[in-house]
Amino acid sequence: MPAQQTTDFYYNTQRNSRFLEYWTDVYLNTNSVNLDTVIISNDYENRPDLYSYYLYNTPRYFWTFKYLNPAVISNPVWDFNAGKEIKIFKSSYLGKVN
């Protein structure tokens, strides 16, 4: 595990003076103690950014929904449908790694 974790999507990706190199996955601990299971409500259909803001006080973590649910969410916006059961990070966990 890295000395300092972060939820920045590009944290582990090398950067040169102008561009990002090939993307390197961010390590986030997906143990069940760090996760909750929820059902997407009608208020957040196709709006993972709003749901991220609701849960984490920032829209920047919208990508974590696809990260945790690759079999359920192929497109992070259009597959974010009401009634779908998904795993999410607990806000207490994301607060520690950021």
Nearest to 46 by CA among 11, 6, 73, 13: 73
What pLDDT band is residue 78 in, cutting at 50, 70 and 90? Answer: very high
Integer CA distances (angstroms), 5 to 50, 82, 91, in order? 24, 31, 15
For 57-66, write each residue's pLDDT tens digit. Answer: 999 899 999 9
Q: What is the pTM of this model?
A: 0.72
What are the b/e assignments for 11-31, b being 16+ CB within 10 Å?
eeeeeeeeeeeeeeebebeee
